[in-house]
Structure 1
Amino acid sequence: MKTILKLAAGALIVTATAFAAQAQTVKVGIAAEPYPPFASPSASGAWEGWEVEIAMAICAEAKLDCEITPVSWDGIIPALTTKRIDFIAASMSITEERMQTIDFSDKYYNTPTVVVGAKGVAMDATPEGLKGKILGVQVSTVHENYAKKHFGATAAEIKEYQTQDEANQDLAAGRIDATQADSIALDAFLDTDQGKACCEVKGTVADDPDVLGLGVGFGVRKEDTELKEKLNAAIKGIRENGTFEAISKPWFDFDIYGG
């Protein structure tokens, strides 16, 4: 009888442990800085935006109990590797450099990179077009790396900012000549009254997959292969069942998944 009771107790412990593991909250790391239309805090403080909705749809499809966890952008990879968060959903491009430290899911969107500058100022998104210009970029992004590689020799300065919004504000104020970022993020700026008044798209930069990456994916720890597989299956699932399109349609008039 004692043996049976011990076995039963052991089974209950195993079952309880398994249940606790299943119920564990998965912390989804997003950049704490507003990055519309992907993620921004509402008036109530709740985070909203296309990427937030996609991340939560992925969690629902993968049957994960997820919690949005804002982290400073320049500390988001360390937050992942030290297990403060469980995966990154912050418009992070899949690059070889980042894959030396972390792994990625399959891509869930891919959009062009553009240069935006002041209206009436002649320039384009080439080294010659940005000759002598001050170009603002967000620090620790593929855009910073791209600008330094392709425009560093001709631009007067590659100025770094902690957030893209700070670069946009300096552009509007005339403290820099142009900024480079994802086309969707800069479209959101150009749709504001301030953006409409001051600035315009000067062109799309020439592609460089080695720097700009192969689209945007969810960042995961290298050892978390099971979570990566769940995320990949969920990305495929919401694209096949129409959820991805249903979420995207109110935000964009084109296919953000990209080529």
Structure 2
Amino acid sequence: MNKIVLLGTLALAAFSTLAQAGEDTLRIGIEAAYPPFGFKTTEGNISGFDYDIGNALCAEMKIKCEWVEQEFDGLIPSLKVRKVDAVLSSMSITEDRLKSVDFSKKYYHTPGKLAMKAGSVINDPLVDLKGKKVGVQRASTYDRYATDRFESAGIEVVRYASQNEAFLDLAAGRLDATLADIINIDEGFIKTPTGKGFALVGPDFSDPNYFGKGAGIAFRKGDSANVARFNAAIDAIRANGKYQQVQAKYFAFDIYGE
């Protein structure tokens, strides 16, 4: 009888351990077509600043990250239907998004910018871009800004599933400009062979009503436990130097912002 009790106790302990392991696996949604934040290597593996920061955060919290790749405009819907537990994909913390998801504190903050042919001069985008075609990534903060501000000024807005598609159309002459994150434009386009002859132009786009106050990690509404532990992990990796180690792989400056 004692052996039966012992076996039962061991089985229960094993089940509890497996259940705890399951609880410590977090499915994180990411778009892998947004270099240098998220991209695929030549071997087909996900890489980038977002990916490395996410792994550093999970290591700090001693949990397993399971990355789920998909297009940007499907990330929040996947979060809501529980296909993923979090979204770590350069998603800006905005008032509009806060209506449907909760966010961690920011883990970086950069402005938006226009990319056009080198030599283009843009002083007032609402005036100087009138009659031109500007590409944006669908469902991004840049899409929302362009919809509200550009279209009413007579600027044609063309939407794409990924920012890379907008870059290709800009290089092919099917767009006059694209509006996106300054780092994504510089690293993912201008510094590549495809972006030869193009440059960052015009003013920074940083209106917090549209672009928020930095990129954060999105969670389902009410998931205060994950928000709290990710906030603590962000503070920890910035304090212990792991954030700076990841940052140095991709940038020569502090991307965290003010």
TM-score (norm 1): 0.91
Counterpart for residue 193 of structure 2: 193
Q: Distance in 2 between matches of 1:109 and 1:204?
A: 20
Runs of 4+ in structure 1 over 6 Å off: none
Find the counterpart in structure 2 of residue 126 from structure 1: 125
* Paired positions, count: 254
CA contact 1:39–1:50 (8 Å) conserved in 2: yes
* Whole-angstrom distance in 2 between the partners of 1:106 and 1:186: 24
The one-letter code sitting in structure 2 at the alignment partner of 1:227 is N
Aligned residue in 2 for 1:42: 41
What secondary structure sits across from 1:256 in the alignment? coil
Structure 2 equivalent of residue 116 of structure 1: 115
**CA offset digits 1:87-143 (Å, max 9, x no partner):** 101100011111111111110000011011112333346212222221110100000
Paired residues of 2:71 and 2:161 also in contact (CA < 8 A):
no
Cross-structure match for 1:169: 168
Letter paired with 1:240: A
- Which structure: greater helix fraction? 2
Q: Secondary structure at the match of 1:211?
A: helix
Amino acid at match of 1:145: R
Residue identity matched to 1:19: T
Separation in structure 2 between the aligned mates of residue 10 and residue 221 of structure 1, nearest angstrom:
36
Give the match for residue 244 of structure 2.
Answer: 245
Distance 2:222 2:104 in 1: 13
Structure 1 pair 104–11 and aligned structure 2 pair: CA distance change class (3 A):
farther
Moved more, 238-247 or 127-136: 127-136
Matched, 1:19 2:17: yes
Task: Report whether the alignment pairs 1:31 with 2:31.
Answer: yes
Q: 1:193 to 1:125 in 2, by over 3 A?
A: farther
Indicate the SS of the match to 2:164. helix
Q: Is the 8 A contact 1:125 1:205 kept in 2?
A: no
Determine if the alignment matches structure 1 residue 107 to structure 2 residue 101: no
> Where does residue 52 of structure 2 map in the other structure?
53
CA distance in 2: counterparts of 1:149 and 1:178, whole angstroms? 17
* CA apart distance, 1:9: 4.6
Q: What SS does the aligned partner of 1:214 have?
A: coil
Q: What are the ranges of 5 or more consecutive residues in structure 1 without an aligned counterpart? A: none
1:136-215 correspondence runs (5 A): 136-188=135-187, 189-197=189-197, 199-215=198-214
Deviation at 1:206, TM superposition (A): 4.2
The residue matched to 2:196 in structure 1 has which SS? helix
Partners of 1:85 and 1:125 in 2: how far apart? Answer: 41
Give ranges in structure 2 of 5+ residues lacking alignment: none
- 171-180 vs 206-215, greater mean Cα deviation: 206-215
Give the Cα–Cα distance (whole angstroms) in 1 for the partners of residues 208 and 59 of structure 2.
31
Tell me, yes or no, if structure 1 residue 78 matches structure 2 residue 77. yes
TM-align CA RMSD: 2.0
The match for 1:62 is 61
**For 1:125 and 1:207, how far apart are their aligned partners in 2?**
15
Greater mean deviation of Cα atoms: 71-80 or 51-60: 71-80
Q: Distance in 2 between matches of 1:253 and 1:110?
A: 15
For 1:52 and 1:42, the matched residues in 2 are separated by 12
> How far, CA to CA, are the matches of 1:125 and 1:163 in structure 2?
26
Whether the 8 Å contact between 2:171 and 2:195 is mirrored in structure 1 is yes
Question: Kindly tell me: are residues 172 and 67 of structure 1, through their superposed partners in 2, closer, same or farther at Cα, counting changes over 3 Å?
Answer: same
